[in-house]
Structures are given as structure tokens and as C-alpha cells.
Amino acid sequence: MNKAELVAEVQKNLGKETSKAAAEAAVNAVLDSIKKGVKKDKNVQLIGFGTFSVAKRAARDGINPRTKEKIKIKASKTVKFKPGAALKGVA
């Protein structure tokens, strides 16, 4: 499912009186709120769905696939998602 399909599904679930623009605004609001929550609190927990959290990646050695030259990869941060119990039972 891509974002356009998600917007269509949200519009369907909200009812016929909801416009596509309103459904897209709702989806964007949720995604923006998750981004802000992860940035501010380092953790967003949605009971029954899952938890978004910040994970640290250590510095490491890598290989440039084009030149086969060894390179140093800096330490960085990324967002990790751990599905909740209700979401694990879906797949």
C-alpha cells in the first residue's frame, strides 16, 4: 500500500462526506505528529500498533562497492519501528 492508497482507505473509513483532501490532510497530520514526537521525545508509542524510537548506529568500516576501497562510516541515528501485539497477528 502506498500513500495514495492509504489516503483512499482513510477517506473510505471516514465516510462519503469526507473529501479526499480532508483524508490526505488527516494522514499528513498523523505522519507529521509522529515525526515531531520522535524528534522531541525519542519515542512514540501507539498502543496496539507499535512503537517508533530512535536507534543509534555505531561507526563502522565499509566498502565502496564501485571502487572496492575501504571507507569509514560515521556514527548516526535512525528511526526504528517495533510492531505491537495486535499488529504482529495481522501478517
Residue 54: closest CA among 63, 45, 64: 45
Distance CA 10, CA 28 (A): 11
Encode pLDDT of 4-30 as tens digits: 999 999 999 998 889 999 999 999 999
Question: Can you give the pLDDT at residue 57?
Answer: 94
Is the confidence at residue 40, as pLDDT, over 70? yes
What does pTM read for this prediction? 0.76
